[in-house]
Chains A and B, each alone.
Chain A
Amino acid sequence: MIIAALADYFPMLLFAVLFLMAVGAAISLVTQRNPLYSAISLVFVFLSLAGLYILLAAPFIAAVQVIVYAGAIMVLVIFVIMLLNVEETEQPGRARLRYLLPTAVVLAAVLFAEAAFIIFFVHGTGVDRANAAAPANTGLTANIGAGLFTTYLLPFEITSLLILMAIVGAMTLARRASVLRPTDVIVPGAQSLTRHTLASTQLSETTPVITHTTAEAERALGLSNAPHRRERG
């Protein structure tokens, strides 16, 4: 009975498929020349990791993995790559690889040593295995939520504070990088600009600036000796 054999080994088979997919996509991630292909490979790594989480009876972590990493962060990465449109000719020189290769070998050795340690010393004790058999529903949403809001409340709140700080920091940096005076407005038609460069919060007290050439617009924006200008010239 082929089907019966398949049914018995199905979790193993799934694990093998997901594992091969994760490792293959990870190898593809580091070897691709095109950054977009690397990003797509990373998406596949995340998806196969989500599958592995499901095999470990942690469906909530799996769903969050897909929503946050594959669905949001990697979309932003691909968005930036598409905006920049990096040429394939931009290759890292040999000089960089010279010290990267030994570093990679050392780090890989550390990783394998760690994995071997876990396999031979932690997993083999038998105590963990006996405990692990019982709580098969630790990964369920309700249990994770209860844990986050009782036992691990302080780390949870501190993490949210860290994220808030990151948001405030990003906003401060974005504000500082803005080259526009808050009262400047570019009239559409003469020169087109991406609208997010305008400070729309103060649009009520604006003085319109009408420009007809790129040079004029750059002067109005305070961009006349911006770095990109010098690079081209």
Chain B
Amino acid sequence: MNWDNPYIYALGKFVAINVTFIGVLMIVAYTVLAERRVLGFIQGRLGPNRVGYGGMLQPFADLLKFILKEEIVPDKATRFVYFLAPIIAITAALMSMIVYPFGPDVTLPFIGRIRLVIAQFDVALLYVLAITSVGVYGVALAGWASNSKFSLLGGLRAAAQLISYELSLGLSLVGVVLMSGTLDLYQIVEQQSGWYGMHWNLFKLPLPQVLGFVIYLISAIAETNRVPFDLPEAETELVAGFHTEYSALKFALFFMAEYVNMFTVSVLASTLFLGGWNGPFVAQLPLLGVFYFLAKVFFFLFLYIWLRGTLPRFRFDQLMSFGWKFLLPVAILNVVLTATALYLWG
């Protein structure tokens, strides 16, 4: 197919965006189901297993329920901001999907050779960080606009937490960026393709990014408000935190945004540290790359669920001092070590 033709190019991008959109939303829906089933397994119960085979249709039943439920808007809510907040949350979460590198160049029947990424540009990594940092507004404004003390406390906590952990998250990625010399996610993945597809930044010389990887994982969990850092929605103290006053589809949007963000940080983890679509025999069979990529992402999603079933919640001051006094200095140390190693042996 002739990709130089602007119409075909635009149509191709349109189709690619829609396929990715639906694919990501399906993965998100089944992550929710997996979370409930795995949590059930961890806690010695069954979890939802009645709708469809083994509960496979449960996400759709939930969605239908979210759509059909009554919308309740608090009387004293600031209506405009109250409606704006979930839109900001889900838009910011979904916008980062255009830079996910799903796989290498593949040759598909009837279509020809295509690259499995929607947009490849110079600052892709910064773009993801920027878009996710805008997502804070969804949470903070939801807390403010609901005019409820639980929501406000949840929103304030979320704003403080996300700002604090964004720093160590960003700094933990600097090591990888230093080693790759680019911010383009696709090129970062391509550089990890040696050693039969096992030349991952996690093991790569001169300095394996193990430290950066651990810091990234911890701060990514805090960035997505997951256990053990789910202070903004701590149900034992804040009812449901920033989304206490949200119901029906607006609540579903927050819920989806949280899981899309989980997916995004998992994608970044596998892309930057675990080689993205790289693995054995990808050079012979490019479509295998998509499988490797999704397998790595699913591993991180499973890790999230596993942690939720295992760990208790932090106290808020512990969270803050951990982020600022431990994670941030260690992240800076990682940057210094990587730069030194690159200077000496790079």
| A4-45 interface code vs B (CB 8 A; 1 in, 0 out) | 000100000000000000000000000000001100100100
**Are A79 and B160 within 8 A (Cβ)?**
yes
Q: Which residue of A lies closest to B321 (CB)?
A: A200
Docked complex Cα distance between A32 and B303 (Å): 46
Max chain B Cβ within 10 angstroms of own Cβ: one of A75, A76, A195, A196: A75
Q: A70-B134, A75-B136, A78-B159 given as contacts; is B141 within 8 A of A40 (CB)?
A: yes
Q: List 12 A-B contacts (CB under 8 A).
A: A7-B6, A40-B81, A60-B123, A63-B130, A67-B170, A71-B134, A71-B166, A75-B137, A75-B163, A79-B159, A82-B143, A141-B182
Give the chain A neighbours of B84 by CB distance below 8 A: 40
Contacts of A37 in B (CB 8 A): 81
With a cutoff of 8 Å between Cβ atoms, the chain A residues found around residue B183 in the complex are: 141
Contacting pair B130 A78 (CB below 8 A): no
Q: Are A67 and B129 in contact (CB under 8 A)?
A: yes
> Would you call B133 an interface residue if the criterion is a C-beta within 8 Å of the partner chain's C-beta atoms?
yes
User: Which residues of B1-24 are within 8 A (CB) of A?
Assistant: 6-7, 10
A76 to B166, CA, bound (A): 13
In Å, the complex CA distance between A154 and B191 comes to 33
The complex places the Cα of A70 from the Cα of B170 at a distance, in Å, of 16
Of the candidates B6, B81, B123, the one whose C-beta lies within 8 Å of that of A59 is B123
Q: A82-B143, A195-B317 are in contact. Are A67 and B133 (CB under 8 A)?
A: yes
The total number of A-B Cβ pairs within 8 Å is: 87
Q: Is A83 an interface residue (CB 8 A)?
A: yes
Complex Cα distance A45/B337, Å? 39
* A140 lies within 8 A of chain B by Cβ: yes
Bound complex: CA A72 to CA B166 (Å): 9
Say whether B150 faces chain A, with CB atoms less than 8 Å apart. Answer: no
> Please, which residue of chain A has its CB at the minimum distance from the CB of B135?
A71
Q: How many residues of chain B are within 8 Å of chain A by beta carbon?
A: 36
**Given A47-B134, A63-B127, A79-B140; 12 other pairs, CB 8 A cutoff:** A7-B6, A7-B10, A63-B130, A67-B126, A67-B129, A70-B133, A71-B136, A75-B140, A79-B156, A141-B122, A141-B123, A141-B126
- Cβ of A66 < 8 Å from any Cβ of B? yes
Chain B residue contacts of A141, Cβ below 8 A? 122-123, 126, 182-183
B155: CB under 8 A from chain A?
Answer: yes
Closest to B7 in A: A3
Number of chain A interface residues as a range: 20 to 34
Interface of A is mostly: helix
The answer for the CA separation of A26 and B317 in the assembled complex, in Å, is 37
B130 touches A43 (CB 8 A): no
Is the C-beta of A64 less than 8 angstroms from some C-beta in chain B? yes
Q: How far, in angstroms, from A200 to B322 measured CA to CA in the complex?
A: 13
Q: Which residue of B is nearest A139, CB measured?
A: B122
- Which chain B residues (136-150) contact chain A, with CB distance < 8 Å? 136-137, 140-141, 143-144
Chain B contacts of A62 at CB under 8 A?
Answer: 123
CB within 8 Å of B: which of A75-134?
A: 75-76, 78-79, 82-83
A82 touches B140 (CB 8 A): yes
Find residues 83-111 in chain B having any chain A CB closer than 8 Å to their own CB.
84
The interface bits of chain A over 39-59 (1 if a CB of B lies within 8 angstroms of the residue's CB, else 0) are 010010001001000000001
Q: Which interface residue of B122, B129, B141, B159 has the most chain A CB atoms within 10 A?
A: B122
Q: B152 at interface (Cβ–Cβ under 8 A)?
A: yes
The reply to whether B121 and A82 form a contact with Cβ atoms under 8 Å apart is no
Give the chain A neighbours of B182 by CB distance below 8 A: 141-142
| Cα separation A40 to B156 with both chains bound (whole Å) | 16
Q: How far does the alpha carbon of A71 sit from the alpha carbon of B140 in the complex, in Å?
A: 12
Of B126, B140, B320, the residue contacting A60 (CB under 8 A) is B126
Whether A66 lies near B130 (C-beta < 8 A) is yes
Choice from B10, B137, B152 contacting A78 with Cβ under 8 Å: B137
B126 pairs with A64, CB closer than 8 A: yes
Closest CB in chain A relative to B153 CB, distance in Å: 10
Please give me the 9 A-B residue pairs with the lowest Cβ-Cβ distance, nearest first: A71-B133, A63-B126, A66-B130, A195-B317, A59-B123, A63-B123, A67-B130, A79-B159, A63-B130
Known: A78-B159, A140-B122. A36 touches B133 (CB 8 A): no
Measured between beta carbons, the chain A residues less than 8 angstroms from B131 are 66
Name the interface residues of B144-178: CB closer than 8 Å to any CB of A.
144, 152, 155-156, 159-160, 162-163, 166, 170
A70 and B140 CA atoms in complex are apart in Å by 13
CB B317 to nearest CB in A, in angstroms, measures 4
| B137 / chain A contacts, CB cutoff of 8 Å | 40, 43, 75, 78
Nearest-CB residue, chain A, relative to B132 = A71
